[in-house]
Amino acid sequence: MSDNNGMMEKEEIYSKVLRAGRRTYFFDVRSTKADDYYLTITESKKFTNDDGSFHYKKHKIYLYKEDFAEFNDILREMTDYIVDEKGDEVISERHQKDYKKDDYDSSDDSDAAVASGAAKSTDNFTDISFEDI
């Protein structure tokens, strides 16, 4: 298999797929030239064009063994933090049709924060790709 640069990409040695709505995550173990293993995590997101056709945007992370322990520690810390702070129930406009921001935001100064630009609407969300980082 060839990538965009014409370089040969190694065959997957072990793979798992996680389908999550419009997103699909691919976890692939690959081999280096020195015959060591590394992990690629690819997010593929489906977009529908105006004419009904669709296309995918993909973002990929390469994760090497020397980073596994710290990556796992930070990932666990971040996911635990989110669940501890907000629980594991999904609360968003996208996931709940009856979602109302005011039901979850009881702060009296939220209007002032929005007016000053401190709080961003989900309408202004910027999709950041891993290649941008």
Mean pLDDT of the region 46-67? 94
Query: Which of helix, strand or coil describes residue 101?
Result: helix
Residue 34 burial by Cβ neighbours in a 10 Å radius (0-12, 13-18, 19+): exposed
Bridge partner list, 15? 28
Extract the runs of DSSP E, i.e. beta strands, from the chain.
Answer: 14-20, 23-31, 37-48, 54-64
114 pLDDT band, cuts 50/70/90, is very low
129 contact partners, CB below 8 Å, separation of at least 6: 57, 59
Give the pLDDT score at 92.
72
The number of angstroms, rounded, from the C-alpha of 8 to the middle of its chain's C-alpha atoms is: 26
Q: Is the pLDDT of residue 101 over 80?
A: no
Token reading at 74:
């930070």
